[in-house]
Structure 1
């Protein structure tokens, strides 16, 4: 938890123990932490550098914890200041980049990344840099990067980045494939399946895309495509595959199964009924014990399914299709 301010696990454990005790001898603290005394003393020295602990002036070898509210508050303020400076620098660099790239040369629109490690690193960067949406086509035989299992995806999803992923059916064959897809669905990601995808592809915020270069016998390589006609084509390719793919859903017992893409499922119908009854998205989410993003994602999916652009149109379509019933009783 305190890694953000530069403490490793041993140092954080030492500080927590010292806070609980108020003050302690090195030997007593080492025994409490089940660490050798030299390691404990090094941890205390590191805490001293951060202003989190100090040696007692009244008793040699005794260490005293600094008050967390004061000591940690100071460190957090320092971290915030450094982050603000970094954000400012990033904004200035981005502005400079935009000025320089108003009319980019053709060779600047495409980067060639070579080597498995470099490709994997760029793949992670695309996800960590996304702010709105990541779209991906996942093959059953990844080369430099895996399909669904990576920390960057979890971190991006936690920040509110939405994911739309189309996987080949082959991905579901091994047990770990089912596990990874289940984890993705559990994070409210949208996952669909097809027999084959045309290529592995990642599109971040519709401004960057990454597609592999398949070179037989050569080391892995990929193209990173910036805003251009080629990027629009790759985005269009994803949308085309997405429309024809079958949605996957997570059952009550955690099983992954395909759902009929021709109509809404039971949860969709519940969401529709409550919205048509006048409830807000937040109220629907609370009533059905769903996340707010889940409700909004389902409504968006229903609008895409019916080809409408407003919720009013969706309501009329739902009545026309018989998804929900009107209350035809006349009110007194």
Structure 2
């Protein structure tokens, strides 16, 4: 849990933090009994968490100097006895700045990549071996089909909202064993549109990694399309920050949206920028649906949509149900986790591999 946020923490620190996350407060003695460790070891872990502003000591009403409690260890700080109570610093206060910094770094990387591609193409128009522009919906759809059909090992994709070239409900229209024919070639009068998601089935030996954002999850039929991807054996993960439209084939050629009417394909050495961006985003993403949990597939989906920031109304629309039903399912999961808020439910889910 803490490691996924970029923090180095021992297994004991992780366990203690998880216990405090679900309680208003707990004493050192209570925590030691819960984790089955000595009070000295628990205090050492608590002090390490306190130094990183993850937990705080709740002041006792009685003067610590008059307490009859046993002092912990020769090096224990004054007043930190077994009866001392501890509580978790609100997660948004403790982690908000760090998560914001990660989001800013990814945004800067995406902006730098887009700027580099545009600047290089404008200054070096005589280098088609590195870059090619594709304008209009038909031209982009044709090149996207060719990109995916050319892959022999892997396809990596960022999927976001605004799907015009390949609407989400049509992402899978035929079994993978029966590839679709390419779309018709572009014509001067063809309408323009955005470069969109990889959408044409290919051979079953291609490894797919797909990262989606909240904007994609609000698209019509997004849940059904992702379920079909999982059925096809694709690795699907989710991030909270906005993604660009990007597809990478075999780590050797990439296609990226430049603006609302234009896409660009680029090769080595510039495709390395796209692959590094994909790797960085993949490391910070979370599984779309994790198998092997105690939750039903329906509950896992509700939880994933909640973690992605969708409103109750948006979740209900994706699931084809009512907001009240969504709220009841989340309340039931909160009861199982013995937590009182959706924030705590999210932390419990991460710690217990629910998502």
TM-score interval (norm. to shorter): 0.3 to 0.5
Identify which of structures 1 and 2 has the higher relative contact order when contacts are C-alpha pairs closer than 8 Å and 6+ apart.
Answer: 2
Q: Which has the higher helix share?
A: 1
Larger gyration radius, structure 1 or structure 2: 1
TM-score calculated relative to the size of structure 2: 0.38
